Each structure stands twice: as C-alpha cells, then as structure tokens.
Structure 1
Amino acid sequence: MRASTCLHDAFIVSAQQSPQAVAVVEPGQGSISYGQLDALSDRLRDRLTELGVSRGDRVGIYLRKSIASVATLLGALKAGAAYVPVDPGAPVARGAYILHNCAVKAVVVEAELADKLAAALADLGAAPAVIAVDGSLPGGAGLGAALAAAEQSTSAARVGSVRSDADDLAYILYTSGSTGKPKGVMLSHEDAVSFVDWCSESFSPTAADRFSSHAPFHFDLSILDIHVCLKHGATLVLIGEDIGKDAPRLAQLIADERISIWYSAPSILALLAQFGSLASHDYGALRQVLFAGEVFPVKHLRALSELWPGRRYYNLYGPTETNVCTWHEVPLPVPAERNTPYPIGQVCSHLRARVLDESGAPVAHGSEGELCIAGPAVMRGYWALPEQTSKGFFTDREGNAWYRTGDIVTEADDACYTYLGRRDRMVKRRGYRVELGEIEAGLYRHAKVKEAAVLAFADEQAGLSITAFLSSDEAKRPSLIEIKRFCAENLPLYMIPDKFIWLDSLPKTSTDKIDYQRLKELP
C-alpha cells in the first residue's frame, strides 16, 4: 500500500466522480449525496481543527447511527485524527471510560446525552471539546446546524484535509476486557485499507450496489459496511437499533430499500429466516449475503438459503484485531443431513495464517491448534496496554509478528480451517465479542452480590446463552426484575445474562478459587 493512501481517500474520489449519487440513506429520515457528505465532513474537519484536533489525535463519536455519524467519522479522518465510536445505548459510565482512556481531543455527541456524558467525563477528570448534535433533525441537518452555529461565531477558514501516514491510526474499536474494563484495539490506515481492498477484490462491488449497515459503528463489521461501500460510490442504507432486531420490519426494509449486499451477525439472519416472513417480499436486488461474528447454526442457514435462493453466501471469520482473516463461500444447497457448522475457510489473500501449539510450534494438518495471523491488516496493539499487546503476539525466528487469535482450529489439506472453540473464556454473542469476566465485574458492582461467576452454554435456538451464578450475604436476595434492571444500567444489552442462579455459596477448588467446572454441571 502506498504510504500516502488514507482510509477516506477512496470516498473523496467517489465524491469527486459522482457528487450527485446517493451516498447514505437513513430510512424515514432522508438521504445525502456524495457531494453533500463530502462538504459536510469538510465543515466538521475545519471545526475539529479549530478546536485543536490535529494529526494523531482521537475524536469520539457518541451518536446513534445516522448520516451525522457517517459525516463525523469522515470529518475526523480528514482532520488527521482516529475516530473512536462509542455505543450511546450502553451505560454512560462505560462510554465516558472509553473516551477518557484514549484521551479524545473532542467528542461529537447527541445533544440529549451531552450533559450526562460531560458529567461522567468530569468525574474522570476529562473535559474534551464537545460538539452537540440535535439528533431529531433528519439527514445530517443536526450536525449542519451545530457547525453553522460555530461558523457564525468564528472566522475559521477551510484548512484542507490532513495527510495521514499508513501507520497513523484510523480508528480505535473498544472490545470487552478481562479486567472488567474495555480495551481499545488500534487499527491504522494501512490495516483498514488493506482490508477494504481485499473486500473489493473478493466481492466485486459496484456503484449500483446498496449495502446494508446493520452493525453499530463500534462493531468491526461496520468497517466493511461503510468504507467498502463509499469506496465504490455505492449507497449505504443505515439500519437503526429500533428495527435491526425486529424481524418483520427488517425483512420489509431489506426489500423496500433494494439492498444488494447484506452483512450481519448470523443471529440476525436466523431471526429473519424464522420470523421475517421472507417469502412474502421481493428480494430481487439481493445478490450477496455475508455473515460473521459467531457460528451460524446449520438449520437456520439452510432455512435462509431456501428462502433466499440463488444468492452467494459467505462465512467471514476474524477478531477485531484482524477484521476478516478467513472466508468461505457456502456451497448450496445445504444438504438436509448436514448438522455441523461450515468451516471458516481459507486465509484471506492479504494475510498469512499458521496453526500453532502452546509452545509456538506448527501442528500437523488435521491437529488442533491456535490460529495465528500475520499481515498488513493486523492491529497495531491495544491502546495503553503494552503487556497485553505483547501477550497477544508470537514472534517467529524470522522476526515476523503473529497475532494469537485465541481460537482453536484444525487445518485441512486444502488449507481450509475449521473453528473448534475459544482458548480462553471469551465468547461471541449476537456477533459481539464478550469477555465473561467483564460481566462478572459488572455484577460485582451490585451491593448484595457476594460472589459472581458467569458461564456460556451452547443453545440450539440462540447459539449461545449466558448464565450468572450468584451468592449473597443478604437474607433477601435481589429479585429477578431488580437484578435485570441493575444489569441494564451497568452492562451493554448483549452482555446481560439470560439466566440467574442464586446459591448459598459458589463451589471452590482446592486453591479456594471458584470451581467453574462444577458450576457447568449445575444447570
């Protein structure tokens, strides 16, 4: 990759070539053209620069998915900064921790959330510049109004976009951390562009395509949605959380918006297959169905492929630290007798893969080992966590750094990988990577919780269910409603356990540690 290539360069080219083409659609709220989106993100770039944002800084995005949030991430990149998307639906303390942890210089926030976020940041001793956006205004108008107010009070000139180097950070995505605190995965322009280029080669998108944007922007699936789409001058159709898990409405939207390239976690596709009444809609525009983030139960994949025949289905695999690193096109039809998940496939052409044992030695084909990845799309490390960064990599005799995915796989003779499970206690749920220890840390915040242990169990319908085992010194334990309400206030929705089991005390090992193996036998 040329050192001068930035993640947003391809979008700028698309805007220059097709300024009138529709770039982003926000169903029910309007749309914006490439030329308009380019101009709006330029204005934000200038405002950020005026606020002191410069190359190498970080800009927080505390917005719901919208045209404004797309313009914000582009404006941050144009200012030479890395964008840091935060889930506005999660507890505000979590968002404030993330923004404080990576020392954002500025944050663009929904106006209705601005005061709460500012107070939470102040508690941490942080006070970044704030741009408050009225989220009730459609089509990016809220961001435009916020910038207009600032422009009236200043005489700042257009400053032009900053040229970032390949090694400069493009974005930081925070994932669940084993200490109970999220950790930031640092991705550079080179990381992102190499992935976007691979997607372009593999899926051959065109300006006529209409991409789904189902994943929230703090989820790594969004990188394909946004940046591959904008590179090719295609149209990005934003899907908000209010409709994203409502199968009947979502099924209607996919048809109405003529989406041609779909990408989501398998759990959403399973919902559509079961409850979307797909046979009653016209999906003539749909040509590719991509899924990643968790194992797709074969029975649901079979049902979906029968309801949406004639499309190409791709199983994409990869942690946030590498984005997609292996892929597999599902051969159709799915045999009626098949009940095992499809493999995660072969390594992507811009990356290399090895299967290693615990000592770092390669294992024989067909033997179990940890999948390790090297190449230009691998993260630069975890923000401000040098020890965890070091532990995350294996360096071979030639000095090449291999990222340890923590996933156990086998490799067939044709270099196709089959996923077997996690090395540690990290699981995938609803497409999100979840560290069970973070859920435990959240539960321990409840005043009546003495002990907490969280386990994940296979679930035929949901794919994965999470059970929390708890004990208390109090004679009156919290009710189910109370503990669920507490979780909703302290954890993202996808981390809330499905089941809570109260015990007098949790079983212990001989070293007085919680005995997770015995807990597994209880349900």
Structure 2
Amino acid sequence: MSADGRASRPRALIRDEAVSRDRAVSLYSLVVDAAARTPDALAVQDLRGGLGYGALDALADTYLAALRSRGVRPGDRVLVWTDKTTEAVAVAQAVLRSGAIHVPVPRANPRERVARIAADARPALIVTDHDDRVPGAACVPVGDLLREPAYGPAEAHHPVRPADPAYILYTSGSTGTPKGVCLSHGNALAFVDWACRELDLTAADRLANHAAFGFDLSVFDLYGAFRAGASVHLVGETLAQAAGPLVDFLLESRITVWYSVPSALVLMAEYGELLERGPGALRACVFAGEPFPLKRLKELRRAWPGVRMLNWYGPTETNVCTSYEVTAADLARTTAVPIGSPVAGDTVSLEDGEIVVEGPTVMLGYWGGEPRTGPYRTGDLGRYDAAGRLEYRGRADDMAKVRGYRIEPAEVAAVLVAHESVRDAVVLVVGTGLDARLHAFVVPETGPEAAPDTGTRTGPGPERGPALLELRRHCARFLPPYMAVDAVHVVDGFPRTPNGKVDRAGLGGLVARGVRA
C-alpha cells in the first residue's frame, strides 16, 4: 500500500504498456487492434453472455456488410434504439466501420421522442431490438441484419480521420426538443487515451457500464475497455436502478473499475449494503454528472481506503475536461470536493464566473447547426479554491441535473402543454443534488387566467386540472423515465417579473410555502 492509501501497482510499467501501441485514429480500430492481439479475451458481457474480441470483431464485420446492403454510406446517421446488449455494441462498431455516425438512443425512450430525434438526425436506418417503430423511418430489427446478404468485403472498413464525426448524443434541449451533440473520433480518443493512462487500465481490468449508451459516461466504459483490451460488463436499464442486485453485480462480476453518477453509489450504499459488503475487486471508483453529497462521499472514502476515487467533470459537449482525486485528506473537508484541474489537453478557464473549455475533447458542434468555433461556454458557474483547483457552483441558466441526468425543464414543459387539458406549463427543478425534483406548474384549459398584475392564485388541488398520475402517463409517451415530473401544482396563471417574464423564483416560493401538489 502506498503512502496515500492506494494499492501498490507498477504504475510506470503499466503506463508504458498503455502508450507503447500506436495511437488510434478511430474508435473502431480499438476493437480491431485488440482482436488481433488477444482474440479470445473477453470484450463485452451482458446478462445473457459475452463476446471475446475476435467474436466481437467478426460480428461487427457481419453487421457492417448488412448495413452496406441496406444502403448505409459514409456520413449517414444510423440510429440504434435498443437495450444494452452485446449485439448493440457490435452494431455500433459496424456503424463506425462504415464511416457513418452512430446515434445511440436508450430503449426506455418512448417512440414519440425517438421520432423527434429521428426528425433532427435524419438517419438512413433505425436499428431496433423490439417491435416499436418510428413512422416514416426505415427500421430494421437487429436479428434481420444477420440474415442480410453480404455486400462487398466485410474487412473493408471506411478510413476515417480524427476530425470526422463518430457519434451524436441527444440531450434535453432548451427549445423543447432534444439537441444532438456531435463528437468526433478524435474528441473521444483524446479523453479515452487520457483516462486509460490516469487509471492505469490494462487488459486485466473489468469495467462496469452503468450509464445508458446515450449518456456520455458510457464512452469511457466502452472505449476505455477496448483501448486497454479489457472487458466491459453491461448493466441493464432495470438492474441499474436496483440497489441490492447492483451490489451483487459489482462483487460477482469482480468489477475493478466503476464509473457512474453519484446517485447510483448512494442508492447502493443506502439500500444495498455497499459499505458493509466491501468493494470486492474494485480498485478505482469514478463518479460524474452531479455533485456527490459530502457526507455520503466521506463515508465511502472512509470505507474504501484502498480504492482510488475520482470526481470527473465535463458536460456532454466536452467529454471529461477536469478531474479531482478524493483522498484521505478530504475526510476533514467541510465543503464540496472540487472538480479539479484540466485534463486530456484541454484548457479550462473562468469568464465572468462561467466555466469555459477549449481543447481536443470539445465537440464539433450541435447536429444541424453551425460548426463550433472557439471555446465552449458550459453555462456552469465555477470558482478557484485556495489551491487553484476549480469548484463547481451551479448552473448559469435553467438547465439542471436530476437523478444524474441533464434536463432542460423547457422540454418537459413543452410535452406537458401537448396534453389536452393543459393550457400552459412551467417546470422547475426544486432542490439540489440527490434531493432535486421536477415540479410542474400547469394552467388548465378550463381554469381562469390570473390578471398580469395580480400574481398567481393556486387552486384547491389537482382535481381542478390533470393529476400527477395522468400527466406522468402522458409524459411517459414522449420522455425517458428520468424526465418524469415528481409533482404537479395546478395554478390559475404565473407570477410575472416587471419585464413580463415568468417569475420562476416566485413559483419556487410556492413550493417552499407548501402549495398542494
């Protein structure tokens, strides 16, 4: 054990091994290279079974031939709307090998939301593993791809440059519709290469993939494992929310590197006896996506003295751009841990208190918009601590993190207004961290509108308009589960600021005063 509490490892030797191979120029070459080195080594495992690197490579080439026979060409988008399976991983590899752009959409997304994503991405093909279909779009089940006739030599992978787009991740959009963040092969590899070096990843590691494929945390889980020739173990969407079984998975799968939002670790600690049962084979625990409640973090740090713990920061648009390692010294801390210092060649600065990022991990731009030029303004507020490390201070706009996911309240409000009994709606995030909840304020179609200068009258209860359960069912048709509203307040109208805008602080005050939901 080293002086700082880490398990002893031949750090320099492992880093030399990790960087001795030629630098990859594409995300698909990581699997190709690993298959050439260790074809029988486990690459990816789901709840049904696993694929070695040789088998994953071959299956990806089979899917590649099928995609080409379906007319997929370089630059096309292929939307993959599936559960988390080994087949979905192989399809993603095939998409990249074709020179097309991978658009992962978790299965939990309802058809109506996927239709909006498809309208923006305009995919040449939608690959599914279920019976749902997007009207007007070319859809094909994964199983049918295996029955496609070969089209040309499967080994003819389309050459790509680091600057070529690799994937689009759709996040909650401020305009009320999903927004596509487009990242290049080089963007992802700059982050993945740094992360592999930082965590000393080797072929012996076993990484857990807790995040959904459409969430940026999964980029490290998958491509970090492939870069090192390690194995990645997929956590299904149902298992990801089950505390006890999730701890069983961690221990029984002998996971060595864990990466998730803090909410998952808190859930496992509170309801799955994570601290009591110990870390098992775990040597590194990484978390990102939201602040980790200090008390819970210190409990975890104290319980796992031999496990490295890292707090990573970065919006989807930048991958991870800063990192801070939580050590025993932080047990005396009384304030939140920093988000740390720049990584992966990025430059991170503050402009009028806003965190601004420039460097190799920063996105190409939003799909369908102008290419990004210059630094990316995150909309996050920060400050430096006494040691010069960056601290996160919250959002500069209305976007927030709820249950570890980035959410634009405007997108939720737009769905609520589509309900036949809702005339207008405003959605607020009330609370912070693990206590953050989505509160919807709705004006019913039959309710009177308050005069602009009289503020808002609240009704006697949800019987005046649509109830919470009804609106949650409605939202489930258009939004993923993590964007479901937690409370509904039926109001006659919204309080306004002097310039006519909705007074969000005033609405938040209604919650604080205990308005019925």
Shorter-chain TM band: 0.7 to 0.9
CA distance in 2, matches of 1:378, 1:507: 39
In 1, are the aligned partners of 2:69 and 2:148 still within 8 Å (CA)? no
CA distance in 2, matches of 1:235, 1:70: 13
1:171-190 equivalences in 2 (<5 Å): 171-190=167-186
Q: 1:20 aligns with which of 29, 40, 44?
A: 40
Q: 2:343 aligns with which of 324, 332, 348?
A: 348
Deviation readout 1:45-86 (Å, 9 max, x if unpaired): 111122222222211111111001110111111111110001
2:502 match: 514
1:32 aligns to 2:51 (yes or no): yes
1:150 aligns to 2:170 (yes or no): no
Q: Which runs of 5+ in 1 are unaligned?
A: 134-142, 358-368, 394-400
CA distance in 1, matches of 2:106, 2:389: 35
1:138 match: none
2:451 match: none
What is the deviation of 1:185?
Answer: 0.6
What is the deviation of 1:474?
Answer: 2.2
Q: 2:368 aligns with which of 365, 384, 388?
A: 384
CA distance in 2, matches of 1:131, 1:243: 27
In 2, are the aligned partners of 1:87 and 1:95 still within 8 Å (CA)? no
Q: Read off the aligned partner of 2:505 and give its amino acid letter.
A: Q
2:75 match: 56
In 2, are the aligned partners of 1:286 and 1:311 still within 8 Å (CA)? yes
Q: 1:497 aligns with which of 470, 485, 489?
A: 485
2:446 match: 474
2:474 match: 486
What is the deviation of 1:334?
Answer: 4.4
2:286 match: 290
In the superposition, relative to structure 1, how do residues 193 and 149 fare at CA in structure 2: closer, same or farther (>3 Å)? same
Q: 2:427 aligns with which of 454, 457, 469?
A: 454
1:420 match: 393
CA distance in 2, matches of 1:174, 1:148: 28
In 1, are the aligned partners of 2:427 and 2:438 still within 8 Å (CA)? yes
1:213 match: 209
Q: 1:165 aligns with which of 155, 161, 168?
A: 161
In 2, are the aligned partners of 1:258 and 1:283 still within 8 Å (CA)? no
What is the deviation of 1:299?
Answer: 1.3
What is the deviation of 1:412?
Answer: 3.5
In 2, are the aligned partners of 1:46 and 1:156 still within 8 Å (CA)? yes
1:365 match: none
1:8 match: 28
SS at 1:198's partner residue?
A: helix
What is the deviation of 1:212?
Answer: 0.4
1:440 match: 413
What is the deviation of 1:406?
Answer: 0.7
What is the deviation of 1:349?
Answer: 4.1
1:465 match: 437
SS at 2:441's partner residue?
A: strand
1:111-130 equivalences in 2 (<5 Å): 111-113=130-132, 116-117=133-134, 119=135, 122=136, 127-128=137-138, 130=139
SS at 1:522's partner residue?
A: helix
Identical amino acids, percent of aligned pairs: 39
What is the deviation of 1:161?
Answer: 0.7
1:275-424 equivalences in 2 (<5 Å): 275-279=271-275, 281=277, 283-332=279-328, 334-335=330-331, 338-357=333-352, 369-386=353-370, 401-412=374-385, 414-424=387-397
Which stretch of structure 1 is more off in the superposition, 277-286 or 425-434? 277-286
CA distance in 2, matches of 1:215, 1:183: 19
Q: Which runs of 5+ in 2 are unaligned?
A: 1-18, 448-463, 512-517
Q: Read off the aligned partner of 1:89 and give its amino acid letter.
A: A
Q: Read off the aligned partner of 1:345 and give its amino acid letter.
A: G
Which stretch of structure 1 is more off in the superposition, 465-474 or 188-197? 465-474
What is the deviation of 1:485?
Answer: 1.4
Which stretch of structure 1 is more off in the superposition, 482-491 or 74-83? 482-491
TM-score (norm 2): 0.88
What is the deviation of 1:280?
Answer: 5.2
Which stretch of structure 1 is more off in the superposition, 507-516 or 81-90? 507-516
In 2, are the aligned partners of 1:316 and 1:324 still within 8 Å (CA)? yes
SS at 1:98's partner residue?
A: helix
1:131 aligns to 2:145 (yes or no): no
What is the deviation of 1:450?
Answer: 1.9
In 2, are the aligned partners of 1:4 and 1:163 still within 8 Å (CA)? no
SS at 1:371's partner residue?
A: strand
In 2, are the aligned partners of 1:456 and 1:466 still within 8 Å (CA)? yes
What is the deviation of 1:156?
Answer: 4.7
2:3 match: none
In 1, are the aligned partners of 2:444 and 2:466 still within 8 Å (CA)? no
1:79 aligns to 2:98 (yes or no): yes
Deviation readout 1:154-184 (Å, 9 max, x if unpaired): 6654351110111110101111111111111
1:96 match: 115
What is the deviation of 1:413?
Answer: 5.4
2:238 match: 242
Aligned pair count?
Answer: 475
Which stretch of structure 1 is more off in the superposition, 492-501 or 310-319? 492-501
In the superposition, relative to structure 1, how do residues 483 and 147 fare at CA in structure 2: closer, same or farther (>3 Å)? closer
Q: Read off the aligned partner of 2:216 and give its amino acid letter.
A: D
In 2, are the aligned partners of 1:247 and 1:275 still within 8 Å (CA)? yes
CA distance in 2, matches of 1:173, 1:155: 29
TM-score (norm 1): 0.87
What is the deviation of 1:279?
Answer: 4.7
Q: Read off the aligned partner of 2:282 and give its amino acid letter.
A: L
1:47 aligns to 2:66 (yes or no): yes
In 2, are the aligned partners of 1:5 and 1:165 still within 8 Å (CA)? yes
CA distance in 2, matches of 1:315, 1:160: 40
What is the deviation of 1:19?
Answer: 0.3
CA distance in 2, matches of 1:292, 1:403: 19
CA distance in 2, matches of 1:157, 1:349: 36
In 2, are the aligned partners of 1:3 and 1:165 still within 8 Å (CA)? no
In 2, are the aligned partners of 1:273 and 1:303 still within 8 Å (CA)? no
Q: Read off the aligned partner of 2:195 and give its amino acid letter.
A: C
CA distance in 1, matches of 2:344, 2:146: 45
Q: Read off the aligned partner of 1:63 and give its amino acid letter.
A: T
Q: What's the RMSD between the two structures over aligned residues?
A: 2.0
